[in-house]
Amino acid sequence: MPLLQEKGLLSKLSSKLSKLSSESIRIPTLEEKNGFLKAQKLAYDCVTTVEKEMLPGWTEKQTAKRMDEFLLDHGVKTFLHRPFAWFGEHARFDGYKRFTQFHPGKKRLVEEESFILDVSPVVDGYIGDIGYSSSLIKNSELDSGMKYLLQLREEIPKYFSSTMTPSEIWWKIDSDAKQSGFDNVHSLYPFAVLGHRVYKVNLPNVSFPLLPVSFASWFSLQGSIKFLSHKVLPELLTPDHQGNKVGLWAVEPHLGKGKTGFKFEEILVVEENNAYWLDDEVPHVKKYQILNGKN
């Protein structure tokens, strides 16, 4: 079968499966939103604390381990995935084909480089999956990228509030980013996800082992079990998703320019004909408001 035809059939199948029902497709209660907010805030506390400790020469593995230690010290025993740290060009994922290539490695941080920190602790059963971009010293490529991403952040709730399908949102963001001179890095993620649903993990708050690296990369056993139980494709914001948008989404636009990759990831609340960020007092928003004189 020709490759283009095979891809077309896979796209149609993915689109059809994305319309399946899922227990995640519902408006969250106030209690649930407060639970996710607590988890998200702890995740941001983790990355901003570690950011202040980082020095030139730190490795990605060292940084990921430090984030792990912070979360363990704050009572976290469960996670969706282990901490990620990507420095410089590693944050662009150019040419990556295997799960293990996304893992934190031995790359050492150069002062002029930007970096991405990504953590997903589970707090009282609530997933707080976030991504945060920064640099040790001023980085003009990063500042330009984050300025664009924060403009996009203002548009994303409008897209989810509209009649646009998740697929149309994915392609709108892809097209606009490329027209603005940026590369779409999240298109290199598994399933090319722009985001995924978050939900309460109703499993014991005890430490679980990682799955073997060759099978599920950096993801936890309990996170993978819960994810699979939700039928997978209704949970992923892919280029083919045609299903219901209602629920809670960890949205993570990841772009690149030059030698730099940058992203944010935070929770979006989607109701019928309405969408809003779970919290506007997040570090990347406050940081760039100050840089742009909007505080």
In this predicted structure, what is the pLDDT of residue 214?
34
Highest-pLDDT range among 22-31, 130-139, 207-216: 130-139
In this predicted structure, what is the pLDDT of residue 226?
46
CA–CA distance, 129 with 54 (Å, rounded to integer): 21
In this predicted structure, what is the pLDDT of residue 202?
72
Residue 262 near residue 146, CB atoms below 8 Å: yes
Residue 15 has pLDDT above 90, yes or no: no
Residues 6+ apart with CB under 8 A from 4: none
Provide, for the chain, the percentages of residues in helix, strand and coil under a 3-state DSSP scheme, each rounded to the nearest 5.
Answer: 45, 20, 35
Q: How much is the average pLDDT of 233-237?
A: 80
In this predicted structure, what is the pLDDT of residue 181?
97
Q: How much is the average pLDDT of 236-248?
A: 92
* CATH of the domain spanning 9-293: 3.90.230.10
Residue 10 has pLDDT above 60, yes or no: no
Which one, of 261, 252, 269, lies nearest residue 81 by Cα?
252
CA–CA distance, 121 with 127 (Å, rounded to integer): 6
**C-alpha angle 210/117/141, rounded to 5°?**
145
In this predicted structure, what is the pLDDT of residue 208?
44
Q: Give the mean pLDDT of the chain.
A: 85
Amino acid at 104: P
pLDDT band of residue 206 (cuts 50, 70, 90) is very low
Q: What is the pLDDT of residues 96-125, one digit of tens each?
A: 766 677 788 999 999 999 999 999 999 999
CA–CA distance, 136 with 209 (Å, rounded to integer): 33
Structural domain boundaries in the chain: 9-293
In this predicted structure, what is the pLDDT of residue 22?
72
Residue 1 has pLDDT above 50, yes or no: no
Q: What is the pLDDT of residues 63-106, one digit of tens each?
A: 999 999 999 999 998 888 889 999 999 999 887 766 677 788 99
Residue 79 near residue 118, CB atoms below 8 Å: no
